[in-house]
Amino acid sequence: MVEKALEEISRGTAEVIDMERIENLVSKYYDDGSTYTVKAGFDPTGADLHLGHTVLLQKLRAFQNHGGRVQLLIGDFTATIGDPTGKSETRKILDNDTIMANAKTYQEQVFNILDDSKTEVVFNSTWLNELGAAGMVALATTFNVARMLERDDFDKRFKGGQSISISEFLYPLLQGYDSVELKSDIEIGGTDQKFNLLMGRHLQRAYNVGKEQAVLMMPILEGLDGVQKMSKSLNNYIGITEEPKEIYAKTLSVSDELMWRYYELLSEKSLEEITTMKEDVEKGTLHPKIVKENLALELVTRFYNEELATLAKEEFDNVFKSNQLPSDMTEIEVEEGIWICKALVDAGIEPSTSQARRDIKQNAVSIDQEKISDDTLNLAAGEYILQVGKRKFAKVKVG
RNA sequence: GGUGAGUUACUCAAGCGGCCAACGAGGGCAGACUGUAAAUCUGCUGACUAUGUCUUCGAAGGUUCGAAUCCUUCACUCACCA
């Protein structure tokens, strides 16, 4: 039992520090039922969760299945600083209302995956607001600049002659201090959080908490481009609240290589199954497209249900395999004789008439499935289906 | 506080007082090929019913027939010195 639990817990991890401690906690749970705490911090800087977040959430869920009590930390205080992780420049700070609104949406979405009876949501402003100047100074004395500069992103920026704000030095300290307050047994985070996560251990020691948290790091999920990490700001993400057909379509658009990565980090399928599929694809007995479709179906099913997943697939196949039209598209009514470019802008499928002209010149625009080439065209009364590229459609009523 | 260097579009980055809506690369969009995949090739990439007009090169002023380019002030960044 303990063996299986540990296997589930270690699946897909990038690095674990103090695995022994995790083993002890889990086996103690199976011995006498005593629970332990697992901390994970979320920065309420964006409103919606995407698949990148779910990698961590699923791991938390795994802990919950084996005696872990999750401390879901909303970094509302630290969000006012901005985590320097992976940033090449100082991040813009957010105002309080936005942060609170984001935190709220987070909580609504998180319990898609987490068991809320085993989750405690905490805000770090609760204790950080109380810390005060003296507390901050005491906290800052536990660390020094040279070690802070060891951090890769600071180091790069420092050597590259870019600005680092003093407040950014405080970020790792404050995140680590959260672990002191929460007396966490384990903290999990992305590999890019390593420095911050280790800070938790350092500070738990410095403040004599009586234990040092184990640290479990998950790989960073690449975004749809397969290169950069999935993030809202890079617009390469799949949000968990997106429409089923969006999730389906976006999943299908990832490269074959990246698909295996997604399987590893996101799918519930066992590692053996995945390996078998991979071999079959290499042997040529299994088409990679089928494998990708299954992944897309699994993801839609997770956030909605099987029925909607099937629908999403049917819709997708209709539109792109049989070249039919999507079942729903934006509809607008316009006046007779409207200029085609204007109509495209009004329908929201082109950002400007200039762009519309360019696209028409490049054979990207069609009316009722017929490509057009005249960018001075005016529409006579009637109903038309306008299309730009492969995926932007609109129904226009003229007259 | 002093000295010097810098700020150009989504990002990096070139830019000689007129040939600058601004080289190039990445990204993005579109076309071909496909499995709406990747890779590859090609075109486009400020706005405007448009061979022209308008707004853009950190901000505000100025010099000039004409300024991204020269001058002044301000803001921000970096380096060295204190």
- In this complex, the residue with its CA at the shortest distance from the C1' of nucleotide B37 is A255
Identify which of A112, A123, A102, A119 has the alpha carbon closest to the alpha carbon of residue A48: A102
Contact A84, A91 (CB under 8 A): yes
Interatomic CA distance for residues A148 and A152, integer angstroms = 9
What domains are there in chain A, each with its CATH number? 2-218 (3.40.50.620), 244-320 (1.10.240), 330-398 (3.10.290.10)
Spatial distance from the CA of A53 to the C1' of B31 (Å): 36
Strands A392-398 and A68-74: unpaired
Q: With a 7 Å cutoff on the CB, does A231 touch strand B?
A: no
Which of the 105-164 residues on chain A come under 7 Å of nucleic strand B at their beta carbon? 158, 161-164
pLDDT for the residue A102 = 83
The residues near A26 (Cβ < 8 Å, ≥ 6 apart) are A2, A5, A6, A9, A66, A67
Task: Note the CA–C1' distance, A55 to B23, in angstroms.
Answer: 44
Contact between A85 and A41 (Cβ < 8 Å): no
Nucleotide nearest to A292 (CA to C1'): B37
Structure tokens at A155: 């180091």
Is any atom of nucleic acid chain B found less than 7 Å from the CB of residue A294? no
The Å distance, CA of A373 to C1' of B46, is 23
Which A residues between 54 and 93 have a beta carbon under 7 A from any strand B atom? none
> What does pLDDT average to in each consecutive run of 10 residues of chain A (399 residues)?
90 93 96 95 82 93 96 87 52 67 87 93 93 91 88 79 81 94 96 92 95 95 88 84 90 92 91 92 91 95 93 89 78 92 93 94 91 91 91 89
Q: What is the 3-state secondary structure (H, E, C) of chain A?
A: CHHHHHHHHHCCCCEEECHHHHHHHHHHHHHHCCCEEEEEEECCCCCCCEHHHHHHHHHHHHHHCCCEEEEEEECCCHHHCCCCCCCCCCCCCCCHHHHHHHHHHHHHHHCCCCCHHHEEEEECHHHHHHHHHHHHHHHHHCCCHHHHCCCHHHHHHHHCCCCCCHHHHHHHHHHHHHHHHHCCCEEEEEHHHHHHHHHHHHHHHHCCCCCCCEEEEECCCECCCCCCECCCCCCCCCECCCCHHHHHHHHHCCCHHHHHHHHHHHCCCCHHHHHHHHHHHHHCCCCHHHHHHHHHHHHHHHHCCHHHHHHHHHHHHHHHCCCCCCCCCEEEEECCCCEHHHHHHHCCCCCCHHHHHHHHHCCCEEECCEECCCCCCECCCEEEEEEECCCEEEEEEEC
Q: Nearest to residue A301, comparing CAs of A220, A231, A240, A257? A: A240
Whether nucleic acid strand B comes within 7 Å of the CB of A354, the answer is yes
- Is nucleic acid strand B under 7 Å from A252's C-beta? yes
Q: Find the angle CA(A102)-CA(A107)-CA(A113) to the nearest 5 degrees.
A: 130
Q: Is the CB of A237 under 7 A from strand B?
A: no
